[in-house]
Structure 1
């Protein structure tokens, strides 16, 4: 039965990825949008400028989707087809690979056509920077950085947690990541309230971000890049970024494309100066298509890993459990007073009386 559940989870991940690749995000009634509205309403009730209120807010907003996922998983433990269908729908709802690649390619077309107003307008779909003063290389840089980071956030990380924890992992991760986008900002309002959500998102992305960086290096040739250069830049620059996870993805993408990322980022009301990642020139429009290709290859490879993991992990755990049961003594193999008498382990004189005493002592 455990193996059947693993097969259902793996099947659901594959089908959900295929649905996202074929149809992308639904234009209306997206579950993540509904979750965002509910979280915003709860924030209005719970907001206080302290971490305790932020912790309660984060616990409720993440705990409810996880509880729903657990209930659905328990309710379908004897119905593998239903479980696979639920995991497929959940995977489709939380993935954003097709939309990410579509935005990158559309941005590339706008930049190649010299339509800076359209490119600036599209940038809001990818990141929260102020595009009003950005030129073509800066818009291209912002797009490449967003593709690199969101390949982890919107593709690899959901698949990772879906493989590890099934439907609860999918829903819980997307809830935490959405909260980080909503309240995980370094401004006056969210400096303390948003800290729990930001830290939870950092924790959940520790492994997926590093896996994304490693896969980006390994698949650099898909975007006409150099694996050796990508490996060198990734190892050298990945820890220079202020984020513990974004630097993993952006440094690998900078090395894979042979460009330089980082620098001065202008947001609405604040400016951040970030270290440079990579050695090459500033990105151009042609690099956006290459970044989208690498992102797609990374997503497909992560899907393969995520689909295989539940099957292999379930078998390994089952084999370990069987070996443990075999190593433990069975009830028949446990020594009894009568057997101990027969084997001479107890004094023979007064054997029956000793046996009665042992039985009486055992009842106490």
Structure 2
């Protein structure tokens, strides 16, 4: 039960205090990745594959070493799993950012909200109005709840500490180099595609949890319709599914045109309600927290099942 208990403790720690302010392990990984990129970079998919393979393999290996070192000490393994879970989750920080933006918009401090929302999205924000900032915030709550909470918990439930660390490495590399700009079009291809694969199942679990926690058959039906009808037009095979689910459950319309580095991208329309507005940030945050709690329950169930199968397969010691 050490894996399941560690996941639950790590999730609770993230909910209580969020990310560490200094010396964040993910930031340390990013620094290592940047240093390695100076040696591996070329406008080549082969170089990008090597870059990702080296970093993800090394990170997973650290998880394997940590688990083997605590193999016969269950309390220590639980602590290692809890620490790794807390380090890779981002649920509390996500909703904290959303609450800050909500307060700024309600006070009419548009300039501050334009700056704050950059912590959540990569689009150009300097000309966004209040409702456009709110849309960006709601879309980020949806997609990042899947990426920063549901996915790491599920990979942790399935593979333990190596799964937690390897997933966060994949997701961080996608954020760093998985862009469609001139520099990373080829080099970042592997990171972007691997992130799509790693998030395919978690995104659909996140969408299912959003439907399950909607509290209304009508809203759940709206969300199912939005996923079937609207998600395929989204440029992300996973982000569109989660954003459509949130749009349907919240009864709002998400999507539209965003500008990235001077390039405008049409992300389609998700949902059929009125356009997301400032008053929708609070309900979106509450939905994100329900999805987070639901994903913990799923991950714990997966971990318990995996550990039970593992125990059944081990030979019994003779007394």
Same fold (TM over 0.5): yes
After TM superposition, give the deviation of residue 160 of structure 1 in Å: 0.3
Say which structure, 1 or 2, has more relative contact order (CA 8 Å, 6+ apart): 2
**How do 1:27-38 and structure 2 match up within 5 A?**
27-38=21-32
Unaligned runs of 5+ in 1: 1-6, 326-364
**How do 1:1-364 and structure 2 match up within 5 A?**
7-221=1-215, 226-316=219-309
Report runs of 4+ in structure 1 exceeding 6 Å deviation: none
Cα pair 1:264 1:274 within 8 Å, conserved: yes
Cα pair 2:158 2:306 within 8 Å, conserved: no
Cα pair 1:225 1:258 within 8 Å, conserved: no
Cα pair 1:220 1:230 within 8 Å, conserved: no
Normalized against structure 1, the TM-score is what?
A: 0.84
Normalized against structure 2, the TM-score is what?
A: 0.95
Please give the alpha-carbon distance, in whole angstroms, between the structure 1 residues aligned to 2:212 and 2:113.
Answer: 30
Cα pair 2:256 2:266 within 8 Å, conserved: yes
Unaligned runs of 5+ in 2: none
- Which deviates more from structure 2 when the two are superposed, residues 183-192 or residues 112-121? 112-121
Please give the alpha-carbon distance, in whole angstroms, between the structure 1 residues aligned to 2:186 and 2:241.
Answer: 26
Please give the alpha-carbon distance, in whole angstroms, between the structure 2 residues aligned to 1:215 and 1:235.
Answer: 16
After TM superposition, give the deviation of residue 318 of structure 1 in Å: 5.7
Please give the alpha-carbon distance, in whole angstroms, between the structure 2 residues aligned to 1:129 and 1:164.
Answer: 33
Please give the alpha-carbon distance, in whole angstroms, between the structure 1 residues aligned to 2:204 and 2:232.
Answer: 11
Cα deviation, 1:35-86, whole Å, max 9, x if unaligned, reads 1011011101110000011111101111111001011111211111111100
Please give the alpha-carbon distance, in whole angstroms, between the structure 2 residues aligned to 1:80 and 1:103.
Answer: 36
- Compare CA radii of gyration and give the structure with the larger one: 1
Please give the alpha-carbon distance, in whole angstroms, between the structure 2 residues aligned to 1:63 and 1:152.
Answer: 23
How many residues are matched?
Answer: 315
